[in-house]
Structure formats: structure tokens, C-alpha cells
Amino acid sequence: MHQLVFATNNTHKLQEVSAKIDGQIKLLSLDDIGCFDDIAETGLTFRENASIKSRYIRDKYKLDCFGDDSGLEIDALNGEPGVYSARYAGEHGNHANNIDKVLKGLQDQTNRKARFRTVISLIWNDEEHFFEGTVEGAIRHERSGNEGFGYDPIFQPDGYNVTFAEMSLDEKNKISHRAKAMEKLVEFLGRV
């Protein structure tokens, strides 16, 4: 079975991606390959950040790998938080503060349209390939639900009356931005 490194240690992302790959490929995390480096996301776009991660692993470990970058883009906030989604309120990964900052920024806004976007950079046989997925939706006025992570408690995908945080992992995996990008990646791997 072919091995593929996912350049992340985010357990939520690993669970989502493992469910999509469904045993077709042996998925390895950064921990699995002994990489404990902090890979700096210095890009100005999701594509640049995804590429930084995959190229770092390929250059250092010589393994086929992919990296992703994802974020929330809110129309009324000029596309923010965007590439700064994980550290929007300052401290990296402080989901509660990030959500608070978004809700405060949208306090007087009627336009609550937003989307989650994922870009994956796959390096396979020394060639880089990109896959993108988006899911359109709106930002709720308050948190709802306990599942998921990040902005899931305030993001309601179009066509649903619940947030990502009110969906099971299986339900979210059918429609999420990462799921759509992963489907394109899995389809590509099935052809090579």
C-alpha cells in the first residue's frame, strides 16, 4: 500500500481525511514520520501556505506528501479572517477568541455570507498538484453545537438549518470544504 504523509498534527483534520481516504492509502501524520518542526505558514494565500508545508516535508524527508491550508472567508469582513483564520484574534488556535472577534466584527452587519475554503498541495513523484474545495454558507449570530472545531459553531452551510458543530463528523464530511478538496485528491490518486 502506498504511503502518503499529511503535513499536519491536527487530529481533527487527520480524522476527516482518514475517513475520506477510507484505507485506500496509508496516511501518515507528521508525528508518524518523526517531524516535530514548526512549519511556518508565511504565505499570503491558502495555496502558498499549503505548498510551503508539502515542499518542506518533501525536501526534508523525501516522501510523497500533501499539505493543506484552510480558512473562513466572510464577505462583510472583506474576506477575513482568510489565511489568518487560526490566529485571527492573535494567539494561534484560540477558537473561542477567534469566534468572538468574528461575531463582534459582524455585530451590525446584515450580510452574513461566508465560505470555508481549503487548498491542498500534493507532491507526488516530485510533481506538485493543487486541489480546492469550498462550501458556501452564513455566519450565525451565536454559537450552536459541540462537534467539530474552529469556526464550526457559527458556520451554517447553505441548504442546512444547523451549523457544522451540530453535524456528526460523517455528515460534515459529505459537504465540507476539506471533504470536497480531498475527494479531488483521492480521485487523482485513483488515476495514478
Annotated catalytic residue: which of 38, 59, 68, 69? Answer: 69
- Over residues 70-83, the mean pLDDT reads 97
Give percent of the chain above pLDDT 90. Answer: 73
- Establish whether 69 is a catalytic residue: yes
Is the CATH number of domain 3-191 3.90.950.10?
A: yes
* Average pLDDT of the chain, as a whole number: 92
pLDDT tens digits, residue range 105-119? 999 999 999 999 999
Higher pLDDT, 18 or 127: 127
Phi, psi for residue 76 in degrees, rounded to 5: -70, -15
- Over residues 149-171, the mean pLDDT reads 95
pTM: 0.89
Q: What 3-state class would DSSP assign to 183?
A: helix
Number of residues that this document lists for the chain: 192
How far, in Å, CA of 35 to CA of 42, rounded? 19
pLDDT of residue 1: 66
pLDDT of residue 23: 72
Domain boundaries, the chain: 3-191
How far, in Å, CA of 120 to CA of 129, rounded? 8
CA distances from 100 to 17, 58, 77, 140, 166 (A): 28, 37, 14, 12, 19
How far, in Å, CA of 70 to CA of 63, rounded? 23
